[in-house]
């Protein structure tokens, strides 16, 4: 777990910095709350995957894959849908930022999970 937690934290930090570097010069507000949501749910998912991975060897893969799908549904229900309903100022840029960073985070997390499975 220790050898995967540091790259996971680095992934979220790089995504946050890149997101801010892209949207700030364009004049849009940076959606830091979305980045925080992605990081917290991602770390929680990996902790859960490691906890179940100790009991059965194949559960790590299924928790990462199934958890990623559940996180997508949860993101739509708790982040994107309320922003769309409220239609506050800049909600379109916030939702697009969140969706783009979430897709990149999912790709990075999948790569880290595959790397972990191959090494163990």
Q: What is the pLDDT of residues 61-116, one digit of tens each?
A: 888 888 888 998 988 888 888 888 888 887 788 888 889 999 999 999 989 988 88
Whether the CB-CB separation of 101 and 34 falls below 8 Å is answered with: yes
Domain ranges of the chain: 2-119
Structure tokens at 66: 């199934």
Neighbouring CB atoms inside 10 A of 94's CB total 21
Whether the CB-CB separation of 11 and 109 falls below 8 Å is answered with: yes
* This prediction's pTM: 0.86
Q: What is the pLDDT of residues 38-61, one digit of tens each?
A: 999 999 999 998 888 888 877 888
């Amino acid at each position: 777990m220790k050898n995967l937690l540091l790259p996971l934290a680095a992934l979220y930090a790089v995504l946050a910095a890149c997101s801010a570097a892209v949207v700030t010069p364009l004049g849009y507000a940076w959606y830091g709350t979305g980045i925080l949501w992605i990081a917290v749910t991602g770390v929680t998912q990996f902790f859960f995957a490691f906890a179940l991975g100790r009991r059965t060897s194949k559960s790590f893969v299924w928790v990462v894959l199934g958890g990623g799908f559940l996180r997508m549904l949860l993101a739509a229900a708790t982040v994107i849908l309320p922003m769309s309903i409220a239609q506050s100022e800049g909600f379109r840029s916030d939702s697009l930022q969140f969706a783009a960073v979430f897709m990149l985070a999912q790709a990075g997390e999948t790569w880290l999970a595959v790397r972990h499975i191959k090494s163990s």
